Amino acid sequence: MLKVAIVQHAPIYLDVQASLQKLCTHIEEAAAGGAVIVAIGESWLSGYPAWLDHCPEAALWDHPPTKEVFALMYQNSICVPGPETEVLASLARQHQLTLVLGVNERVEEGPGNGSIYNSLLIIGPEGQLLNHHRKLMPTYTEKLVYALGDGRGLKSVRVNGVQIGGLICWEHWMPLARQCLHNAGEHLHVALWPTVHDIHQLASRHYAFEGRCFVLAVGQLMRVKDLPPQLRMPETLSTQPEKLLLRGGSCLIGPDGHFLLSPQWDTEAVLLAEIDPLRVLQERMTLDTSGHYQRPDLFHFELKTNG
């Protein structure tokens, strides 16, 4: 049995250093609870750009307040590798943890400088960066702030005797991205979401059933008061500063598609649970989409990691 943890907390929005300090505290809490794998939500460092969906002027062309917020988002994104990943690597080494977390990643030099990527990092128990995945396709309004990722991070890594992989948000509706990670032999899949509402639960449960793996579906919290003050918000929101825009919903799903930890709503917590990797093999008796339930004589699959 392996103990896993989900950090379902709000970051300090658009403040990467304060968010990192808060995250370290929660990772320490997870370690104290016996977790060996800790998952943190989409673009947690330092905040999912929910203002794109809630502030009506955010998408206006040549809108100075939006440009200001984008610049703040860039300044509070992290470089990979960089000082923030070194802090997390040190913490992983100290507690022999594997961290799976979502970050806003910036590039300062070379191709892509000036861009932000919606990225997923896996940091192993020796402090090594085991995987660095950039979201392939920003979803809808996200295209205003995020660049396109590539295929180099579409893989799983072996830690504590299990294969761990992950995807970000609507990548879970990209059939070939799913198949790529099924082929990578995941035992544990980390699904990063802003919030794990009912349709995201559906995607996560489908992924677990299709891939015959455990799925940690990871959400986070965000309140109206966290929206950037530079942007005007609807009156219905401005009068409710404590209203939750992102409500968590984090859960653990077994390789048969059923909940082992039901969705947890509206609460900040470090959620602990256990997985038994043997269950993955048991469930693959009936369905193995990268093995006996695949037809390579009929279908050809290829991943281009340089594109």
Spatial separation of the C-alpha atoms in residues 168 and 98, rounded to whole Å: 18
Domain 2-283 has CATH 3.40.1410.10: no
Residue 307: pLDDT over 60? no
88 exposure class (CB count in 10 Å sphere: 0-12, 13-18, 19+): buried
Q: What is the pTM of this model?
A: 0.96
Catalytic residues: 42, 135, 169
pLDDT digits (tens, 9 = 90+) for 275-292: 999 999 999 999 999 889
Are the C-beta atoms of residues 88 and 123 closer than 8 Å to each other? yes
pLDDT digits (tens, 9 = 90+) for 90-109: 999 999 999 999 999 999 87
Q: At what angle do helices 16-32 and 83-95 cross, to 10 degrees?
A: 10
DSSP for 124-142 reads -TTS-EEEEEE-SS--GGG
The whole-number pLDDT of residue 56 equals: 87
Q: What is the pLDDT confidence band of residue 112, given thresholds at 50, 70 and 90? A: low
CA distance readout (Å), 118 to 60, 79, 125, 218: 22, 12, 23, 15
pLDDT digits (tens, 9 = 90+) for 1-48: 999 999 999 999 999 999 999 999 999 999 999 999 999 999 999 999
What are the extents of the domains in the chain? 2-283
Picking from 49, 41, 51, 57, the residue whose alpha carbon sits closest to that of residue 8 is: 41
Q: What is the pLDDT confidence band of residue 211, given thresholds at 50, 70 and 90? A: very high
